[in-house]
Structure 1
Amino acid sequence: MVKIDDAVWDAGPEAVAKEIERIQAEMLAEKLPMAERIEINPDTGKFRAIAIPVENPTTLSALLSQIEDALEDCLGGHNGLAERSGNVKKLNRVLTKYKDDPQNAELTLTRVASSLRSQLHETRELPDNEDNLALLNAVEEGVRGIRANHPEVANNREQLAQQAIHALAPEDKELLQQALPVLAEISEPELVDDFEADIPELINDALLPLPDGAPPLPGTDVTTRVFSRVSKMALLIQNGKDLAQKGAAAFDSDVVKSIRLAGLAISVTGGIGGILFALVKVGLNILGVL
Structure 2
Amino acid sequence: MNPSPDLCNKAHPDVQSVIDNIFGHWSSATFEWTFWRTWYKGFLDGKPLNWELQRRVAQIENAIWETGPEAVAKEIERIKATMLSEKLPMAETIELNPETGKFRAVPIAVENPVTISASLSQISDALEDCLGGHNGLSEQAGNVKKLNRVLTKYKTDPQNAELTLTRVAGSLRSQLHETHELPDNEDNLALLNAVVEGVHGIRANHPEVAANREQLAQQAFKALGPDDKELLRQAQPILEVLSEPELADDFTHDIPELINDALLPLPDGAPPLPGADVTTRVFSRVSKMAVVTERGGKIFDSKEVKTARLAHLGYTALDLLYAVVQIGLRFLGVL
Q: TM-score, normalised by structure 1?
A: 0.93
User: Which of 118, 138, 149 is 1:82 aligned to?
Assistant: 138
Query: How far has the Cα of 1:20 moved from its partner?
Result: 0.6
Secondary structure of 2:136's aligned partner: coil
Matches within 5 A, 1:38-187: 38-187=94-243
198-207 vs 145-154, which deviates more? 198-207
User: Which of 323, 328, 333 is 1:278 aligned to?
Assistant: 323
Query: How far has the Cα of 1:232 moved from its partner?
Result: 0.3
Flag structure 1 segments of 5+ consecutive residues without an equivalent.
none
For residues 191-227 of structure 1, give each alpha carbon's deviation from its aligned partner in whole angstroms, at most 9, with x where no partner exists. Answer: 0110000000111168542122112212111100111
Q: Which protein has greater RCO, CA pairs closer than 8 Å, 6+ apart?
A: 1
Secondary structure of 1:258's aligned partner: helix
For residues 145-169 of structure 1, give each alpha carbon's deviation from its aligned partner in whole angstroms, at most 9, with x where no partner exists. Answer: 0000000000000000000111101
Distance 2:265 2:280 in 1: 22
Structure 1 moving runs of 4+ over 6 Å? none
Specify whether residues 261 and 42 from structure 1 end up closer, same or farther in structure 2 by C-alpha distance, changes over 3 A only: closer
Query: How far has the Cα of 1:262 moved from its partner?
Result: 5.3
2:307 — aligned with what? 258
Q: Is the Cα–Cα contact under 8 Å of residues 84 and 328 in structure 2 kept in the other structure? A: yes
Specify whether residues 55 and 22 from structure 1 end up closer, same or farther in structure 2 by C-alpha distance, changes over 3 A only: same
Q: How many residue pairs get matched?
A: 279
User: Which of 211, 221, 237 is 2:293 aligned to?
Assistant: 237
Q: Is the Cα–Cα contact under 8 Å of residues 35 and 52 in structure 1 kept in the other structure? A: yes
Distance 2:321 2:291 in 1: 9
4-13 vs 16-25, which deviates more? 4-13
Distance 1:34 1:222 in 2: 12
Matched, 1:209 2:283: no
User: Which of 56, 62, 71 is 1:6 aligned to?
Assistant: 62
Query: How far has the Cα of 1:263 moved from its partner?
Result: 5.3
Aligned residue identity for 1:258: T
For residues 128-184 of structure 1, give each alpha carbon's deviation from its aligned partner in whole angstroms, at most 9, with x where no partner exists. Answer: 000000000000000000000000000000000000111101111101110001001
> Root-mean-square deviation (CA), in Å?
1.3
For residues 84-118 of structure 1, give each alpha carbon's deviation from its aligned partner in whole angstroms, at most 9, with x where no partner exists. Answer: 01100000000000000000000000000011011
89-98 vs 200-209, which deviates more? 200-209
Q: TM-score, normalised by structure 2?
A: 0.81
Flag structure 2 segments of 5+ consecutive residues without an equivalent.
1-54
Specify whether residues 234 and 122 from structure 1 end up closer, same or farther in structure 2 by C-alpha distance, changes over 3 A only: same
Q: Is the Cα–Cα contact under 8 Å of residues 198 and 226 in structure 1 kept in the other structure? A: yes
Query: How far has the Cα of 1:260 moved from its partner?
Result: 3.0
Query: How far has the Cα of 1:259 moved from its partner?
Result: 3.7
Secondary structure of 2:106's aligned partner: strand
Query: How far has the Cα of 1:70 moved from its partner?
Result: 0.2
Specify whether residues 236 and 206 from structure 1 end up closer, same or farther in structure 2 by C-alpha distance, changes over 3 A only: farther
Distance 1:76 1:130 in 2: 13
Distance 2:165 2:238 in 1: 28
Provide the identity percentage.
74
Secondary structure of 2:93's aligned partner: strand
Query: How far has the Cα of 1:72 moved from its partner?
Result: 0.2
Aligned residue identity for 1:116: L
1:36 — aligned with what? 92
